[in-house]
Structure 1
Amino acid sequence: MRVVLTGGGTGGHIYPALAIGREIADKQPGSSLLYIGTTRGLESRIVPEQGIAFEDITITGFRRSLSWENVRTVMRFVQGVRRSKQLLKSFKPDIVVGTGGYVCGPVVYAASRLGIPTLIHEQNVLPGLTNKFLSRYVDGVAVSFPESAAHFAKCPNVVYAGNPCATRVLQANRNSGYESLGLKLGTPFVLAVGGSGGAKALNEALVQAAPLLRKLPGVHLVFVTGERFYKDTEAAISKDLLDVASRVKVVPYIRNMPEVLAAASLYVGRAGASFLAEITSLGIPSILIPSPNVTNNHQEANARSLVNAGAAKMILERELTGDLLFARIGEIMGDETRRAEMSKASRGLGMPQSASLVYEQIVRLQQKR
């Protein structure tokens, strides 16, 4: 099978696309993959590292206020469609799969105009602008949350498939996660992550909360600050740790995140769709602090889906303090029964078969043409 993948800007769009690509390669060895993104997005670095061919187009997103920049964006979209058609005619894909972000707009639209089967995958409860636009032209939509289906009512082929990242994380070796952190197997630890770039508000709250670990004997904290915040955060937190210093590990970035997640007892962090897919697939309870700086405040909607199921607690960023955060951590890590109940609820939301469901939808759409 020859497949074009597109989607970018953030890991939340890129990693699901890569998971879909790996599923296709597993199910149909010898398949050819091409990823189309932008040089400005993370995909330009992440995708080539995975050994997947990469081509770029130039495109920017729309601003929500009236702006001359939006006129330029329309011009870039037209140019992006033209460039995408050239790439598609050269590669001759059997299907084009878009996972959101403004870069997939011209690529998927161009494919639809050329009569190539198209599928978009929506990671969040509330769809992004690009996927809402594309839903009028694509052959199918895969959604991560059942609540999302109503937003694609006019599309003839909508499948609740979950997020493909959920499939890949189950293959991770949790023992390797412990070893990479220098922890004994079975050590209970809280994994705190502010997203791929880090989150200043979460970092500040954790600096205040970390010394309170003395109230939770035996519990460790793995604190991922994000590279841009690492030096300042490490300096601030090291002043007050004293007797719990050996139980706090501060790092800028984790490259083997699936293995570390597989070993974690509790996740604390943002409510990005890919992370939520992974923790529910693994059955990890969570404390979610949705980012308020995302389109349509979609992370809060994502988080509420887990909260309503009993799998998570939520703290809005405007309410976040070190004391409140530690209180929530203590409630869960200090009560094995509660943690087990949340873990069961989390696993109940997980869709470890997600990548396979998306693959099956791709095959069906391809066969219809």
Structure 2
Amino acid sequence: MRLVLTGGGTGGHIYPALAIGREAAEKQPGTELLYIGTSKGLESRIVPSQGIPFESVEISGFRRSMSMQNVRTVVRFLQAFRRSKELLRRYKPDIVVGTGGYVCGPVVFAASRLGIPTLIHEQNVVPGLTNKFLSRYASAVAVSFADSLPHFARVGNAKHAGNPVASMVAKADKKKGFASLGLAPGTPFVLAVGGSRGAKAVNEAIMEMLPGFAGLGEVHLVFVTGERYYEEAQTRLAGLPAELSKRVRALSYVHNMPEVLAAASLIVSRAGASSLAEITSLGVPSVLIPSPNVTNNHQQPNAESLASAGAAVMILEKDLNGESLLASVSSIMRDPARRERMAAASRGLGMPEAAETIYEQMLQAIRASKRRR
């Protein structure tokens, strides 16, 4: 198979694309991959580090208000469209897969104009503008949440497939997670993380929660601060009573997140699509604090989807403080039966076979295209 992947801007778009590429390469040894992104996006660093050939086009997003910037965006789109057609004609892929971000627009649209089968993957409950636009031209659409399907009601081949990132973490070894933290296997602990860069509001609530956390017996807290907040957190944690200090560990970043997540009793987290795919793939209960600082507030519907299924408790950032966070964490950690019900609900939402499902969808699109020729 010759496969073009495209998606960029954030890891939430990039890692699903890489997971799809990895699945195709495993299923068909000798598969050739090409990734098309932007030179300024995170993908320009992540993708080459994975040994995957990378080409770039330049594109920017539309402003929601009338602006000269939108005129420049149209010009860039047309230029990126022409550049994408050149790359696709040269590479001759069997299919093009887009996972979101502005760069998908010209690449997937160019593929559709050239008669190349296309598949787009939507990670969030509420689709982004790019995927909404592309769904009119895509051969197939895969979504992470069943709640997304009504947004693609006019697409003939739309499927609830899950997030392919889930397939990468499903077999994580919890024993390695405990060992990396220096904890005995089976130690109950809450993993609190505000995203790879940390989140000030989440960190502050965790700090405010700590005096009350002392009452949770033998429960430990692993607090992932983000690098920019790590020194400040360490300074504040130094003032904790010795008995509590033994049960609280601050880390700037976790490099083996799937293993640590697999070992966790409960996670306090933002509600990014890839994070939720990992959480549900491993069946971990969660307290979700959706970020209000993302496009279209898309994390809140993500969190609501888990909360309505009983897999999570949601706290909006406007309601977040040490008291509200402690109340949620305590009620779950003090009630093993409830925690197990939440874990079961989380596992019920998990789709560790997502990458394989999307791979099969790709094959269907390729076969359908060949029949039409």
| 1-structure distance, mates of 2:31, 2:85 | 21
Aligned residues: 369
Q: Tell me the equivalent position of 2:74.
A: 74
Q: Tell me the equivalent position of 2:208.
A: 208
Cα deviations by residue, 1:229-279 (Å, 9 ceiling, x for unpaired): 222233233333542222222112112111111111111111111111111
| 1-structure distance, mates of 2:18, 2:239 | 41
Q: CA deviation at 1:172?
A: 1.6
Cα deviations by residue, 1:273-304 (Å, 9 ceiling, x for unpaired): 11111111111100000011112211111111
Residue 26 in structure 1 maps to residue 26 in structure 2: yes
Aligned pairs for 1:322-361 (under 5 A) are: 322-361=322-361
Distance 1:106 1:238, change over 3 A: farther
Q: Tell me the equivalent position of 2:269.
A: 269
Q: Tell me the equivalent position of 2:134.
A: 134
* Between 272-281 and 48-57, the greater mean CA deviation after superposition: 48-57
Cα deviations by residue, 1:57-116 (Å, 9 ceiling, x for unpaired): 211111112211111111111111122122212222111000011111111111111111
Aligned pairs for 1:186-335 (under 5 A) are: 186-240=186-240, 242-335=242-335
Q: Tell me the equivalent position of 2:168.
A: 168
| 2-structure distance, mates of 1:249, 1:73 | 46
Letter of the 1:349 counterpart: L
Letter of the 2:60 counterpart: T
RMSD over aligned CA atoms reads 1.3
Aligned 8 A contact 1:210 1:241 in 2: no
Aligned 8 A contact 1:8 1:38 in 2: yes
| 2-structure distance, mates of 1:236, 1:66 | 46
List gaps (5 residues or longer) in structure 1.
none
| Secondary structure in 2 matching 1:192 | strand
| 1-structure distance, mates of 2:212, 2:303 | 26
* Between 178-187 and 342-351, the greater mean CA deviation after superposition: 178-187
| 2-structure distance, mates of 1:35, 1:133 | 21
| 1-structure distance, mates of 2:237, 2:65 | 40
| 1-structure distance, mates of 2:239, 2:271 | 29
| 1-structure distance, mates of 2:338, 2:197 | 31
| 1-structure distance, mates of 2:60, 2:234 | 35
| 1-structure distance, mates of 2:335, 2:143 | 34
Distance 1:241 1:55, change over 3 A: farther
Aligned pairs for 1:106-145 (under 5 A) are: 106-145=106-145
Letter of the 1:107 counterpart: V
Q: Tell me the equivalent position of 2:11.
A: 11
* Between 12-21 and 243-252, the greater mean CA deviation after superposition: 243-252
Letter of the 1:239 counterpart: G
| Secondary structure in 2 matching 1:327 | helix
| Secondary structure in 2 matching 1:150 | helix
Aligned 8 A contact 1:84 1:107 in 2: yes
Q: Tell me the equivalent position of 1:85.
A: 85
Q: Tell me the equivalent position of 2:95.
A: 95
Q: TM-score, normalised by structure 2?
A: 0.96
The structure 1 segments of at least 4 consecutive aligned residues displaced by more than 4 Å after TM superposition are none
List gaps (5 residues or longer) in structure 2.
none
| Secondary structure in 1 matching 2:284 | coil
| Secondary structure in 2 matching 1:215 | coil
| 2-structure distance, mates of 1:260, 1:286 | 14
| 2-structure distance, mates of 1:192, 1:115 | 47
Q: Tell me the equivalent position of 2:45.
A: 45
| Secondary structure in 2 matching 1:100 | coil
| 1-structure distance, mates of 2:41, 2:287 | 28
Aligned 8 A contact 2:237 2:245 in 1: no
| 2-structure distance, mates of 1:112, 1:160 | 22
Distance 1:287 1:11, change over 3 A: same
| 2-structure distance, mates of 1:87, 1:210 | 54
Q: Tell me the equivalent position of 2:65.
A: 65
Q: CA deviation at 1:364?
A: 0.5
| 2-structure distance, mates of 1:181, 1:45 | 29
The share of aligned pairs that are identical, in percent, is 65
Q: CA deviation at 1:44?
A: 1.7
Distance 1:360 1:19, change over 3 A: same
| Secondary structure in 1 matching 2:250 | strand
Q: Tell me the equivalent position of 1:54.
A: 54
| 1-structure distance, mates of 2:86, 2:210 | 53
Distance 1:241 1:365, change over 3 A: farther
Letter of the 1:98 counterpart: G
